[in-house]
Amino acid sequence: MESRNTFSQSDARKTALELENKSAEEILLWSSKTFGGKLVLSTSFQATGMVILDMLSKISPTTRVITLDTGRLPKATYELIDDVQKRYGIEIEVQYPDNNELKNIVTKHGINMFYRSYSLRLLCCEKRKVEPLNRALTHFDAWITGLTRHQGGIRTDIPKVSIDKSHGNMLKINPIADWTTEMIWDYIEKNKIPYNKLYDEGYTSIGCDPCTRPIKKHEDDRSGRWWWEKGMPKECGIHFNTKTD
């Protein structure tokens, strides 16, 4: 691993307090000035990520953007990736699973292993999402995410800045942590940003095609993810360590 510009735990806490009442744009500007080419946005092109990507295109257009192609994404997500590249003229650095590792688990457990047990679902997420992201993040000192507190569960208390112990103590920056769903869609509408068309079909959180469905009235935003699992965290392991958090 390359050496990193890391923050101490106390510096990260102090910075989180300082940035808590700053706007998302101010936080992105601070991030860009602090980390330069060692800053990256990781996005799955959900509404939150699109807001940040649009802001970054105005504040720091050279900040690198990565995404994970799990091989199981919905058609609408691939179409959006294409649209975004054309509209913003940026390179989206697509990260892929290791082909051999994928072949091994699919041969052993089947192409739709995730429906059979929670541990097989986590194994699929590990190989298709967590490990490719881990490999990509080793090249950076700080990463930006679209996590928000309103998504609930273990996201309810996320700070705007924290040390990411799962990724070599790099800084994790959540500039719109305090945004509501209304604020996100207001921004998208006002700025005429492209968005994933599955939102128009009742989806409120969009991941892989076989593991995501639209929600019913009164269900929470992430209940359409891995909907067949009861009482398990609606997480894949990218943002929270499913073994320890």
Residues catalogued as catalytic: 236
Determine which residue in the list 114, 179, 187, 203 makes contact with ligand SF4, applying CB under 6 A. Answer: 114
Give the three-state DSSP class for 184: helix
The verdict on 128 binding ligand SF4 (CB under 6 A) reads: yes
The verdict on 224 binding ligand SF4 (CB under 6 A) reads: no
Determine which residue in the list 4, 22, 38, 72 makes contact with ligand SF4, applying CB under 6 A. Answer: 72
Binding to ligand SF4 in span 196-215, by CB under 6 A: 207-208, 210-211
User: Smallest distance from the beta carbon of 31 to ligand SF4, in angstroms?
Assistant: 28
Alpha helices in 138-219 (DSSP H): 181-190
Q: Residues 89, 91, 97, 103: is their CA dihedral positive or negative?
A: positive
Q: Give 65's strand partners.
A: 41, 92
Is residue 186 within 8 A of residue 178, CB to CB? The reply is no
The verdict on 70 binding ligand SF4 (CB under 6 A) reads: yes
Nearer to ligand SF4, 65 or 211 (CB): 211
CA gyration radius, the chain: 17
How far, rounded to the nearest angstrom, does the alpha carbon of residue 48 sit from its chain's CA centroid?
A: 9
The verdict on 124 binding ligand SF4 (CB under 6 A) reads: yes
- Contact segment (CB under 6 A) with ligand SF4 among 32-40, 57-65, 117-125, 143-151 equals 117-125
Could you give the strand order of the β-sheet that contains 161-164, starting from the edge strand earlier in sequence?
Answer: 92-95, 64-68, 39-42, 142-144, 170-173, 161-164
For ligand SF4, the binding residues (CB under 6 A) are 70, 72, 114, 121, 124-125, 128-129, 207-208, 210-211, 236
